[in-house]
Structure 1
Amino acid sequence: MEQTYNWPLGSGFAPGTMLRLRGTIPNGGKVFNINFQTKHDYNTSDIIFHISIRANENLVVMNTKDGGKWMTEQLRANENLVVMNTKDGGKWMTEQRASTSAIAPGREFEILIACEQKQFRVSVNGFHLADFAMRRAHTLITALSIIGEVNVGGMSFESSRPVPPKPHPHGGGFGGPFPFPR
């Protein structure tokens, strides 16, 4: 059964911000989409970053919708296995293998989407999946939608941006009283 989740993003989705999404695709579920939009209404919005998880095709599609038209898709297909290794002194060590096919019906998943200066970085269940070059400015993002056959179990935004200092309690400036006579 298709679900629709919509959230306004009052402070946007700026570099240093990350979305952490946990959920499951119900049994028999096939596709869900995550959209960082320019408007709250999906049907009239341009989409700065669209990621389509197509569990039925073992495919992840990323794209941008600009002026009502979809641009060229970036595909990640058949990414069932991540192999990690180290080459030491010209010799390969023992491989570590992990499945990324955990975005499958009936299994819990965690997707991280980080906004960087020039790209979005996507990881699934702790493994880097893809980088998607920013095609339009992140400053245009005002809403997030998740649409499709998915049950959202949890969602949070995390930031690595520095927090500005608090105003000094005795004066009007940051870090101290007014430097000028009152």
Structure 2
Amino acid sequence: MTFLAPPGYQPIYNPSIPYVGPITGGLRAGMSVYIQGKIHHHINRFNVNLQCGEFDGCDIAFHLNPRFDLWDKVIFNTFQNGSWEGEEKVKHMPFHKGEHFELIIVVNTEGYQVTVNGKDFYLFQHRMPLERVCALEIGGDVSIDTINIIGGMQGGMGGMGGGYPGGMGGGMGVSAQTIYHASGGYPGGMGGGMGGMYPGSGIGGGYPGAGMGGMGGGFPGPGMGGGEMGYPGGNLPVMGLQPIFNPGIPYSDMIPGGMTFQRTIIIRGMVPYGADRFCINFVAGGSRDIAFHLNPRIREGIVIRNSLIGGCWGDEERDIDFNPFLEGQFFEISIRCGQDKFKVFANGQHLFTFYHRLEFAQISMLEVEGDVQISYIHY
């Protein structure tokens, strides 16, 4: 069983490099580009471009180019009418050889806000109109586990010559200011306390299985019904809100609009080295009952599911198709609410099913606590 991403959330897993792909519907303020990957040990340089086309020599509105030489630095620039313009140079290197990284490019009205591993790095002010940007390019000495362009509009035809590889098409969402939580931050010397956050070796190669390819011709547009264009989940609710990036742990907040049928909640994070356990709780409003308790226990190698109703824990469930919660590993967990059960996917693959023990409409709050670093939560 493969995860069917709701409109507005179309990750690309393990693309080959160099990668060139469209930003379906174009770029607008309020959108975010999320890239998670690993720097090669023998790196010279790599680049991330937001481009005005998908061909060699097209204009480039935003060029990010980390260079590893005698004086490590990150170059920002634009390329227009066949020539490079004035460089903006940052003589500080937030990327490290042989290590994983998370790069988030938040598009706002002023420019491109670049965040690396949870810390604001640079604001590159717009030199070209945003509406010209229609493609993403990544090249150089880097491997990429995940690309996700969040908050994109969709016209219903992505994947028919447009859209993402594997026929995933464009997404649908709203332009909203990205939410940052100032508290917490990244453990390991960056505001937390777990230590050893972005280790150099032994992290492993990203996400098991692509899991997302071959879906056919994109996402149907609003009012077109479900699945006619090749996307079986076309009638799913849209991922309309911008993610909450880098929330502090413990995290506790209301679920906007509460839990509803077919709602999907995406949690992307990483298990730090030395972690013991963490939990994700779906909490019912006034009673404080836990309708669904997800509890990866890293040292034991198990993933417990349970409920806490009327002060009493129910029967534990332990069977899983695989275990994505390993020390030093990134994970993406997708929790979809059905009429009688939650379907839970990790890294695009089915993980387990948990049948409701409380009415899902009573669920109003999400909690995350324990030994985990969260990159973003997307409602």
TM-score by length of 1: 0.72
Query: What residue number does 2:8 align with?
Result: none
Query: What residue number does 2:38 align with?
Result: 24
The answer to whether structure 1 residue 151 and structure 2 residue 143 are counterparts is yes
Specify the SS of the correspondent of 1:112.
strand
Deviations 1:26-46 (A, max 9, x none): 1111210001111101x2200
Given residue 156 of structure 1, which amino acid in structure 2 is its aligned partner? N
Q: Which runs of 5+ in 2 are unaligned?
A: 1-15, 152-173, 177-221, 224-379
The answer to whether structure 1 residue 131 and structure 2 residue 110 are counterparts is no
Q: CA separation in 1, counterparts of 2:175 and 2:127?
A: 22
Q: CA separation in 1, counterparts of 2:149 and 2:41?
A: 27
Identity of aligned residues (%): 26
Q: Which runs of 5+ in 1 are unaligned?
A: 80-99, 168-182
Question: How far does residue 106 in structure 1 lie from its aligned partner after superposition?
Answer: 0.7
Whose strand proportion is higher, 1 or 2? 1
Q: Please identify, of 16-25 and 48-57, the stretch whose mean Cα deviation from structure 2 is larger.
A: 48-57
Paired residue for 1:53, among 63, 66, 84? 66
Question: How far does residue 58 in structure 1 lie from its aligned partner after superposition?
Answer: 2.1
Given residue 122 of structure 2, which amino acid in structure 1 is its aligned partner? A
Query: What residue number does 2:77 align with?
Result: 63
Q: CA separation in 2, counterparts of 1:64 and 1:74?
A: 10
TM-score by length of 2: 0.35
Aligned-CA RMSD value? 1.8
Q: CA separation in 2, counterparts of 1:55 and 1:20?
A: 22
Specify the SS of the correspondent of 2:26.
coil
Query: What residue number does 1:15 align with?
Result: 29
Query: What residue number does 1:77 align with?
Result: 91
Specify the SS of the correspondent of 1:129.
strand
Query: What residue number does 1:38 align with?
Result: 52
Q: Is the 8 A contact 1:55 1:104 kept in 2?
A: no
Question: How far does residue 11 in structure 1 lie from its aligned partner after superposition?
Answer: 1.3
Deviations 1:143-170 (A, max 9, x none): 11001010001111223616xxx78xxx
Q: CA separation in 2, counterparts of 1:147 and 1:4?
A: 4
- Where does structure 1 differ by over 4 angstroms across 4 or more consecutive aligned residues? none
Question: How far does residue 15 in structure 1 lie from its aligned partner after superposition?
Answer: 0.4
Given residue 4 of structure 1, which amino acid in structure 2 is its aligned partner? P
Higher relative contact order (CA 8 A, sep 6+): 1
Given residue 62 of structure 1, which amino acid in structure 2 is its aligned partner? F
Given residue 105 of structure 2, which amino acid in structure 1 is its aligned partner? I
Given residue 110 of structure 2, which amino acid in structure 1 is its aligned partner? K
Superposition pairs for residues 77-156 of structure 1, below 5 Å?
77-78=91-92, 100=94, 103-156=95-148
Question: How far does residue 142 in structure 1 lie from its aligned partner after superposition?
Answer: 1.1
Given residue 11 of structure 1, which amino acid in structure 2 is its aligned partner? G
Q: Is the 8 A contact 2:106 2:113 kept in 1?
A: yes
Q: Is the 8 A contact 2:23 2:149 kept in 1?
A: no
Question: How far does residue 62 in structure 1 lie from its aligned partner after superposition?
Answer: 0.4
Query: What residue number does 1:88 align with?
Result: none
Q: CA separation in 1, counterparts of 2:104 and 2:92?
A: 19
| Paired residue total | 140
